[in-house]
A and B are shown apart, each in its own frame.
Chain A
Amino acid sequence: METVLNVENLSFSYRNKYQTVHAVKQADCAFERGKAYAIVGKSGSGKTTLLSLLAGLETPAGGQILFDGQNTAQMNRDAFRRDNAAVIYQNYNLFPLLTVMENVLYSMKLKGIPGKEARQRAEKELAAVGITEDQFKRFPPQLSGGEQQRVTIARALAAGNEIILADEPTGNLDEGNSELVVDILLRLAHEEGRCVIIITHDGEIAGRMDHIYTMRDGVLEG
């Protein structure tokens, strides 16, 4: 398998109201295409910070993250997220004022994909995650939590991003929907060759991944 993300000696700290928090301490790991990874750990152990660093939403204090051998710190990180890395959160993933279809089209519009092609891709990927055509014109609040999360995944699929970073994607979902979402994410890794990284508290979901990393007080193990 080909390494897509290589994390070398990565550290990050921030200052809150009372102290400096060393959220990530000299982390080393590698993520390959076609594999699904879980990052587990207690609340406040630095999992979400690591995900933000991988997505280019934060700047590392030390070390580096290499995307296909290129240091992301030297890249346009907005373009990196737009073209390569999709982030999925536990909630607040969709624009409430845009319909399901418009939400999926949004990231493709950012990439400059022409309207007709974008629409075809959106329809295909929405169908692939089980969203029916009559739901295309609905607004996110009119969908269930599981459906919303699937629309988010469809958006990442349609945009063609090869790295999917998911922060507790099943945190708000019932068991059936959780399973459905995890199935889709695993299919993305195994069938479409994308690199899927999930942060989760759920040991069962973590167990279905190809590799598990554990965060303990900012230290990555595994």
Chain B
Amino acid sequence: MAGIVFKRIRRRPWLSLTGLVLACALCFALCFLVRYRNGQQQELETMRDSFSVQGIITNARGTKADHLRLHKRYMEYVQDEEKGIGAYIQDLCLTKELYLDWEPWKGLAIGVNSPRAAKALDPEQGGEYYSTEADFFESCENWCLVPRSLWETYGGRKVSMQMDNPYKKTHDSMSDLYTEKSFDLTVVGWYKGEESILYLPFRAALELGRSLTDTVSVDSVSFRLKDNAQVDLIREISAKTFVQPDPSRIDPNPGLSILDRQYKAALAEMEQNVAQTERLLPLSAALSLAVGFFMGFLSVRGETRNYALMRTLGLGKGRLACQALLEQLLLPALGALLVGLIMQQALPAFVYFACHALGCMLAVIKPALAKPTKLLRDS
């Protein structure tokens, strides 16, 4: 009977063509919407993953992020994966400041655990450094990086700074007492800049500070979130340890600022796009169903007489329903297949076809299953 179906389709070209064009257009719309939604979702995921949300420990007012003299328990808290927030963060940057009295100038010696902890060292922030020691930042040796201009005097090769030449005295910013200590530093590299700062390995600075005051403290802590989606979770977990920074707050505890405003703004826009597209999807499916019904209804309306004739010739209800549906669905199926292949969207194309088929079925099934005498009377 397939031959008859093809002939009937071919001999009603306008109806068939309209069905095909509508099927292609609706299937395209659905596939396009799904592809757009998927693209937005993927972009959203990429943004969630790639957007660098930074967390910074500040004073309670949120006005200062260095010279904090934080007790070591805060440092331990951000590193602790079980009791702290260590499991949720990465790229932890720590600094320890020591005041330095050195012949060329008076200034700071800052212990850093990563080039990202100091602007002058971080290539991403325009900084530059050179170290002969590859493990400078992980080391606990008394090494230092000096401004590039001093490198010519003290660098080039490892130069051990003796106590007297140059002679350095330090005291810890944490200490109320001005205790001093002399020590040697080995210049192992330089950084771009002319500041009166020496950069030390963080662990070395920490140890120097401890030897001065018997206290371990850090002066700045910053990090990036491992998973940006956990920003609210981190806030919740750390609420007992860090206060929410507020310019009017007076609190001995430090604050935790998570710089997520830009991230959340960008995310909100995309989430709104995705939500809007998702609202359109069921509408589009419903439209496909309605068009399927309408096309089926249009096609069947003039066919009741032929259906009755087929039944009187002995075609069973089931076979008639199958034949009628095949006739209605062949071209939409072809359209959906083509669009699905071109747009590489198998599932939406199938969903479109299922909706169209359901609509058609609703239109076709009644006359196909009706008594032939009733169809004859109706026609």
Contact = CB atoms under 8 A, between A and B. Distances in A.
A87 B8 CA distance: 23
B313 A81 contact: yes
Contacts of A107: 313-314
Contacts of B312: 55, 57, 81, 87
Contacts of A102: 4, 7
Interface string A134-145: 000000000000
Nearest to A58: B373
A61 interface: no
Given A95-B306, A97-B7, A109-B1, A52 B311 contact: no
B368 to A, nearest CB: 13
* Interface-centre pick from B12, B305, B314 (highest chain A CB count, 10 A): B314
Given A57-B371, A78-B316, A109 B379 contact: no
B159 interface: no
A8 interface: no
A83 interface: yes
Q: Which range holds the interface residue count of chain A? A: 20 to 34
Given A92-B379, A95-B306, A97-B8, A106 B372 contact: no
B309 A81 contact: no
Interface in B1-23: 1, 4, 7-8, 11-12
B314 A81 contact: yes
Nearest to B3: A109
A176 B313 CA distance: 28
Interface in A72-105: 78-83, 86-87, 89, 92-98, 102
Given A92-B309, A92-B379, A97-B11, A83 B314 contact: yes
A96 to B, nearest CB: 8
A67 to B, nearest CB: 14
A110 B373 contact: no
A99 to B, nearest CB: 9
A215 B316 CA distance: 30
Contact of A78 (B7, B8, B11, B315): B315
Given A82-B314, A92-B376, A92-B379, A106 B4 contact: yes
Given A107-B314, A110-B314, A97 B12 contact: yes
Contacts of B379: 92
Contacts of A87: 312
A96 B314 CA distance: 18
Nearest to A76: B316
B373 A52 contact: yes
A98 B7 contact: yes
A109 B376 CA distance: 23
Interface string B351-379: 00000000000000000000111001001
A189 to B, nearest CB: 20
B154 to A, nearest CB: 99
A191 B242 CA distance: 109
Contacts of B309: 92-95
Interface in B252-311: 305-306, 308-309, 311
28 contacts: A52-B373, A55-B312, A57-B311, A57-B371, A57-B372, A57-B373, A58-B373, A78-B314, A79-B314, A81-B312, A82-B313, A82-B314, A87-B312, A92-B376, A92-B379, A94-B309, A96-B306, A97-B7, A97-B8, A97-B11, A97-B12, A97-B306, A98-B4, A102-B7, A109-B1, A109-B4, A110-B313, A110-B314
Interface of B: 1, 4, 7-8, 11-12, 305-306, 308-309, 311-317, 371-373, 376, 379
Interface of A: 52, 55, 57-58, 78-83, 86-87, 89, 92-98, 102, 106-107, 109-111, 159
Given A97-B7, A97-B306, A110-B313, 15 more contacts: A55-B312, A57-B311, A58-B373, A78-B311, A78-B315, A78-B316, A81-B312, A83-B314, A86-B313, A87-B312, A92-B305, A92-B309, A96-B306, A102-B7, A111-B314
Sort A-B residue pairs by CB-CB distance and give the 9 closest, nearest first. A82-B314, A81-B314, A78-B316, A97-B11, A87-B312, A107-B313, A97-B8, A52-B373, A92-B305
